[in-house]
Amino acid sequence: MSHNGRVSERRYVITFGCPDRTGIVARVSSFLADAGGWIVEAAYHTDLDTGWFFTRQEVRADSLAFGVDELRARFAEVAASLSAESNWRVEDTAERRRVVILVSKEGHCLYDLLGRVASGELDVDVRAVIGNHESLAGITRAHGIPFHHVPFPPGEKAEAFAELRKLVDEHDPHAVVLARFMQILPPELCEAWSGRAVNIHHSFLPSFVGARPYHQAHRRGVKLIGATCHYVTADLDAGPIIEQDVIRVDHGDSVPDLVRKGRDIEKVTLARGLRWHLEGRVLVHGNRTVVF
């Protein structure tokens, strides 16, 4: 996996959150040092409001005499001693991240992601693109990626979502990317894909939630429009925020101008947020994130 454009050697990435107290850093550092672990990147944060501690550690895989499964087994004891419970992960950068992309008719986010994958900038395995229209089948297949059409006729959405879930789950993806999918996931899917479903919303949340945010923004006469990459939850456009960005607009911009300018922000915000998610840089605590 690459970070900031550089290709790195194989690493194990440890992330966790736990109640803050003295000695956490020493406990983790001692554990890794005793195992011969060579730490190449480390980040820490304490949330003073909640009294919660977060960290992310990258360790050179070749510095350990055992593999990732053994590391997970050994670290489980450390996590338990720190009351990290289920809030910890050990990931292997040698495992290519599997991604499934959900789309509708608008293709700018899909084009951007496929271009980044094709150029090697985003080293992920896009297993499939699933669309509720067939508009983007051609560009998907041109990149050698399977495209599945799942229509969403009125009155049959439950069946459509069941088919969608089947197609997604067979790939066990690290990320389900809603690249302007324009369908609201039902609560059971939000739960099943919790922490993996990544959405791009075309406004600077929490402003202009829901449909046609550029029209809402134009009516309000805003001077900045933005985009928000966030995790999907059952609360519409209210999941933990991974990344946001903005661009200036003015009174002379029409709604089509806002849409055109906004697309550029949507693309980079989604790509950035997705990369951080796949690199294990995003830790969720409640409805907030820590991004290392």
Residue found by looking up tokens 């933990």 in the block: 240
- Helices assigned H by DSSP within the chain: 24-34, 68-81, 108-118, 137-142, 157-169, 187-192, 213-220, 255-278
In the three-class reduction of DSSP (H, G, I as helix; E, B as strand; rest coil), residue 191 is classed as: helix
Q: What is the DSSP string of 172-184?
A: --SEEEESS--SP
For residue 146, CA distances in Å to 101, 126, 131, 160, 278 come to 11, 9, 11, 18, 21
Strand partners, 199: 178, 230
Dist CA 209 CA 216 (whole Å)? 9
Dist CA 215 CA 213 (whole Å)? 5
Cβ atoms of 152 and 194 within 8 Å: the answer is: no
Length of the chain, in residues: 292
Which of 125, 235, 237, 264 does the annotation list as catalytic? 237
Strand pairing of 288-291 and 282-285? antiparallel
Tell me, yes or no, if 237 is annotated catalytic. Answer: yes
Strand partners, 43: 56
Cβ atoms of 104 and 120 within 8 Å: the answer is: no
- Residues acting as catalytic residues: 237
